[in-house]
A and B are shown apart, each in its own frame.
Chain A
Amino acid sequence: MTAVEPGSRTPAPDGGRVGGAVVALEHLSKRYGPPGTPPAVTDLSLEIPAGQICVLVGPSGCGKTTTMKMINRLIEPTSGRVTIDGQDVMGLPAVELRRSIGYVIQQVGLFPHLTIADNVATVPRLLRWPEARIRDRVDELLELVGLDPVGYRSRYPGALSGGEQQRVGVARALAADPPVMLMDEPFGAVDPIRRDRLQNEFLRLQEKVRKTVVFVTHDVDEAIKMADRIAILQRGGILAQYDTPQAILDSPASEFVERFVGADRGLKRLSLARVADLALTEPITTRAGERRAELRSRLDGSGAAYALLLDEADRPVGWIGRRSLDGDGTVGSDDAAPGSALLEPRSTLRDALSTMLASSVQLGVVVDESDAVLGVISVDAISDVLRAPGDR
């Protein structure tokens, strides 16, 4: 098993390292019934470059999950073939093949009788790695997905939240450093805010590991956000379009794609841009204890309508409006409007806009991982992007 050996790496054109392998589907078809019944997947051919995220998206019954499962042979194709770095997946015993491909599913499917560490160690144990190496790898992976190894190692999955469980699920899939990862609606079961977080985290992770990822979803916005390339499937597993998110939004190949992507393509374009792409402005900041008169004059001097109140650790507390800043005395946390919109640099402008519209002051505070303020964006800055589509 040379081509899909876990840990094998193909050098990237830019000289960096890509952990992925080229995955190619060639004339892949799957029919569940006898000949004559309509196929679930029809003559599907596409090639996924090494280290890219390919999102399979389409309405239910479009064969996206079937297509994904033919890559690790949970489903055997009726005809056609799948190759990983040129090697036919049928050339390996199915069990061996699956150990070399990461697998993440919506319901996570952690083993309830094993600790978090043992869950993550699943595939390395199947591959009979030495225990010392497994221990190091487990800790490395838990850190990679943002879980403190000391606190989580010996807990059981039942004691974890849904989001934490899916992080463990991703760590488990990455354990043996497989070149290819299959993810079946991995963030479908968590609430929208946590989903956004998990998506951002996964994109950050992917920058480090550069796997070839096949990602199944029915959510177009998630597809646009996650994908390097999107494959839109229609009923019967027919490939409607396979291209970059930008190209699909700019020039949908058919009426089906246009309808599936939706009438709000302009708005969806916001999912292509990240908060980090915008020029951040520096807010007027204040701390509890500043004299109100002083803050008033600072605001008036700059022409800003709001000042951002920070706590002792420089984390944002909320906005203080110029108009509510009457009287004498000092500024306190009671003056701040609660619920200010906190954004990550990696959030899409679409997510940023919806968070900002939902908060009382329509300014987004961009923070880093430790909640330190990086800057501020306004709804106006986002609508500028809307007005100039394609100039990203």
Chain B
Amino acid sequence: MKHEIWCPLEDMKKEGLWYSVVVRDRHGKVVSRERRKSHSFLEQWNQMVFAHLRGVQASSVHDTGGTPRTLNVDDQDFQMNAAANNVTYGIVVGTGNTAVDIEDFKLETPILNGVAAGEMQHLICTVDAAVVAAPSCSFVVHRTIVNNSGGIITVLEAGIYMIGGTAGTYRFDATRDVLVAPQAVPDGGAITIDWTIGVTE
């Protein structure tokens, strides 16, 4: 049975953060979909915005390893367009389902890149150009993550890691959401996540 949690498209035109999740089987057939409002800009996002409004730095910003860092503003701050197989930034998924906390600094149980049990192959993470369609301006971050592990992998959480700090040294978790429904990705199948970041007048 196809599982759908689908927010009306007109609601997605409103401000804020939205995500959609589409799970396909090995034949490309959609087996599950979820689209909803994200509630999950985390503390690190706000700290990076703060650092840039000042143009200097923010202190004690926890990287994805849990270490507090001094975030000196840099060209690469906010970067999300990760290359294939790179899970240090861009959209990431995991198997944790603890409720989101503003102080979360990583996914609870991130899925590693690979083809072993419990691993998935992360394709390129792309960032579209911003589009203005009054009354909103938004852009979408996309990534497809393929399951070639030989077994079913159930995805329970997703987020966006971003680059930050001098010379792009650190990785910070910008968003995290626990999915409304567990998304079981069959062997040979894939999960595609589109994250929309928008503002509205």
Q: Tell me, yes or no, whether A binds B.
A: no
> Residues of A at under 8 Å CB distance from B?
none
